[in-house]
Structure 1
Amino acid sequence: MSKLPIVVAIPTKNEAANIVTTVRSVIDHVEAVVVVDSDSTDDTQKLAAAEGAEVVPYEWDGKYPKKKQWCLDHVRADIPWLLFLDGDETPSAELLAELHRIFGQPGREVAVAAFDIPLGYWFAGRRLKNGYTIVKRALMHRGRCRFPELGDLDAPGMGEQEGHYQPIADGRVVRLSAPIEHEDLDPVRTWFDRHNRYSDWEAWLEHHPEVREEIRVAKTRQGQLFHKAPFKPLVSFAYAYVLKRGFLDGRAGLDYALAMSFYRWQIGLKTREGPQAG
């Protein structure tokens, strides 16, 4: 089977626990795999290189573009299509087959700007089959997509990475059916560590409505609807656990619905506390 005309970009920092699995999942399927590493202090770079990935160092200068847009601008610019994977993500076999059907005909032009891909989400060691559905604009044509430059450089919580919004697509966007598997092997406390930082950023946005509005238009339709919802912790729990039947995932479904509700509660509490400096 011929390789897909895609470069996989994997932004990393200290992903030694996950990176081997991620690189192995794509190295035989795509033209190039590039790990863009932010000065990891573990063996991320060494392990990725041993699996055949190109490793590129990245140092953020505190301005735009941030890390993902930098990848679009600089990582194997000779390959128009770029797939972002986190250091703990792997494409499912069904997704690889779907991509081969789309890109597998030599000379065929794929006349869309981007593909939205659902995540197969793992939480506390279990694959969730129900509950809150996450969709990422992960595969894009670099000439037809760009991450917006927002007024959030003084916001805490995100740093070098773009926030929780999608790249803007200049053209049609197609949603694929097969998932990227998001299986983090780190302990669950790291999930709470990350979301504590993310809630700092979200709370900052509540005190900067002009930036919040810029971000709203770059979110998914689901994100835009939730953006307007009152009583977000309760709505989040009811949506994930009841409406989307998270209860069918047993204890893991309850834990995840509670964790997301707690995240929304954190945002509200930090918002009421007042704006925080970056």
Structure 2
Amino acid sequence: MTVLPIVVAIPTKNEAANIAGTVRSVAGHFRAVVVVDSDSTDDTRALAEAEGAQVVPYTWNGRYPKKKQWCLDHVRTDIPWLLFLDGDETPSPELLTELRRIFLDGRPVRPAAFDIPLGYWFGGRRLRHGHTIVKRALLDRTRARFPEPGDLAAPGMGEQEGHYQPLADPVHRLRTPIEHMDLDPVRTWFERHNRYSDWEAWLEAHPDVREEIRTAKTRQGQVFHRAPFKPLLSFAYAYVYRRGFLDGRAGLDYALAMSFYRWQIALKAREARGGPPG
């Protein structure tokens, strides 16, 4: 089998519950698989190495570049194309087929980056409807770079880039998904999003930085970035317009969770401005 001329970079910290399956899903399909680990205290590194991944340690110095740009700058720079996967993500078989059609047909690859939809799992169930997350996860490092907004003083994100996309042109959207199946308990989702809402609320008090970040979002993200009544709009969009109700209880749970996340941001932003939290 001809391997894809792509390095898979997997940024991790304490991903022992998921990492073996992620590495196993890409081993043998890509030219290299590299786990970039931030001082995990569990068995993440040992499990990744046992599945054949190279493990590279990473420690953030509190400045830019953050972790993903560091990967673009340092991880197997002999391979121009890099695919980012989280420690709980796997490429679907259909995505592997689509990538082979693009990268192994002998023609130059015109796009500088590819947006890839996520097949999202929540509460143990694969969601088929509702809001679809799209990640700019496959990059030609010679033509793509993460922005460096002035958010280093913001809480919530730390070594991770915030909720914005790397800058690249042109960008093409793929049809088939990365499967995002988190085996951690659902409380970890709320813990992460509590931190993320700290960052989002900080942006509300720093409109110049917020505008920098808006321009580095997808078109849908840019529209939503400026929309009013985000908690209600988020729920109506995911559960009604995108028919999240067809996913049963999981669809309702996810739409409510995302609406609650938007409510957290608004509440924290009002508190930061000195207004009443309610």
- Using the size of structure 1 for normalisation, the TM-score is 0.97
Is the contact made by 1:204 and 1:275 (CA closer than 8 Å) also made in structure 2?
no
AA paired with 2:235?
Answer: F
Equivalent residue number for residue 221 of structure 2: 223
Equivalent residue number for residue 127 of structure 2: 128
Q: How do 1:99-178 and structure 2 match up within 5 A?
A: 99-106=99-106, 108-169=107-168, 171-178=169-176
Equivalent residue number for residue 96 of structure 2: 96
Is the contact made by 1:116 and 1:176 (CA closer than 8 Å) also made in structure 2?
yes
AA paired with 2:244?
Answer: G
Equivalent residue number for residue 236 of structure 2: 238
Q: Distance in 2 between matches of 1:29 and 1:246?
A: 33
List per-residue Cα deviations over 1:195-236 (Å, max 9, x = no partner): 000000000000000000000000011111101111100000
Q: Distance in 1 between matches of 2:242 and 2:226?
A: 19
Equivalent residue number for residue 43 of structure 1: 43
Cα offset, 1:109, TM superposition: 1.6
Q: Distance in 2 between matches of 1:275 and 1:99?
A: 47
RMSD (Å) for aligned C-alpha atoms? 0.9
List per-residue Cα deviations over 1:148-196 (Å, max 9, x = no partner): 0110000000000000000000x21110000000000000000000000
Post-superposition, which runs of at least 4 consecutive aligned residues in structure 1 deviate over 4 A? none
Q: Distance in 1 between matches of 2:197 and 2:142?
A: 32
Corresponding residue SS for 1:34:
strand
Corresponding residue SS for 1:39:
coil
Q: Distance in 2 between matches of 1:57 and 1:210?
A: 34
Q: Distance in 1 between matches of 2:104 and 2:273?
A: 50
Equivalent residue number for residue 72 of structure 1: 72
State the identity %: 80
Cα offset, 1:105, TM superposition: 2.9
Is the contact made by 1:203 and 1:275 (CA closer than 8 Å) also made in structure 2?
no
Q: Distance in 2 between matches of 1:116 and 1:150?
A: 21
Q: How do 1:23-42 and structure 2 match up within 5 A?
A: 23-42=23-42
Corresponding residue SS for 1:235:
helix
Q: Distance in 2 between matches of 1:205 and 1:37?
A: 28
**Structure 1 unmatched ranges of 5 or more:** none
Corresponding residue SS for 1:42:
coil
List per-residue Cα deviations over 1:4-60 (Å, max 9, x = no partner): 000000000000000000000001100000000000000000000011000000000
Q: How do 1:207-222 and structure 2 match up within 5 A?
A: 207-222=205-220
Q: Kindly tell me the number of residue pairs found equivalent between the two proteins.
A: 274
- Using the size of structure 2 for normalisation, the TM-score is 0.97
Q: Distance in 2 between matches of 1:275 and 1:160?
A: 26
